[in-house]
Amino acid sequence: MARMDESVATLLDPVERDRERLAVTDFEAFFREHHERLFRALWLLVHDRQEAEEVSQEAFLRIWERWGRVSAGADPVAYLYRTSMNLWRSRLRRAKLAARKVLSPQLGHDELADVEGRDAVVRALATLPPRQRAAIVLVHVLDLTSERAAKVLAIRPVTVRVLAARARATLANEIGVNDD
């Protein structure tokens, strides 16, 4: 009923309608600023374009539904990443098939298969445990500090550092790059 009250109030009150328009504009700017980075990071995590888009869309949708509260919060971006990570992990838990797909070094056979096949780091990333993968993507692709990444993953900063270090070591060994 609260939702209906709000919708009626929006219809009735020009000020409320203006606020909603501003909120949409505000959210769209937020979306356009962060969507691409989030999508790319999710793609590294899930290894599937469609799933990355689905998780991204669902995360943004949830943020949009709570935009008034989220935008007034201390760190909307961290909230977005945390929502995305939670959605991704929920999918992992829910679907064994999805989990096998994500955890397996075998890559998907979508239009990106050729690209992926040429990309050693992507293949190596797919072999990492999900928590390590999340940690390294948050820290090294999305540039979060270990403290912010810890909030996103709901773990301690030291754990993030450990997970990221293990992931780095594995990846460096797999693809033969410098992990200094």
Positions touching other proteins (CB under 8 A) are 1, 3-5, 7-13, 28, 31-32, 35-36, 39-41, 43-44, 49, 52-53, 56-57, 60-61, 64-65, 112, 115-116, 119, 121-122, 125, 136-137, 140-141, 168, 171-172, 175, 177-180
Nearest approach in angstroms of CB 64 to other proteins is 6
Residue 74 vs 119, nearer CB to other proteins: 119
Asked if 166 and 132 touch (Cβ cutoff 8 Å), the reply is yes
Distance of CA 49 to the CA centre of its chain: 13
Nearest approach in angstroms of CB 96 to other proteins is 25
Distance in angstroms (rounded) separating the CA atoms of residues 180 and 177? 9
Q: Which of 93, 94, 80 is nearest to 151 (CA)?
A: 80
Q: Helix or strand or coil: residue 116?
A: helix
Six-digit token pair at 32?
């356009």
Unique residue bearing structure tokens 């979508």: 110
Residue 74 vs 129, nearer CB to other proteins: 129
Residue 96 vs 144, nearer CB to other proteins: 144
Residue 96 vs 139, nearer CB to other proteins: 139
Nearest approach in angstroms of CB 155 to other proteins is 21
Nearest approach in angstroms of CB 133 to other proteins is 11
Residue 74 vs 178, nearer CB to other proteins: 178
Residue 124 CA: distances (Å) to CA of 108, 175, 176, 178:
14, 7, 11, 15
Q: What is the DSSP letter of 109?
A: -
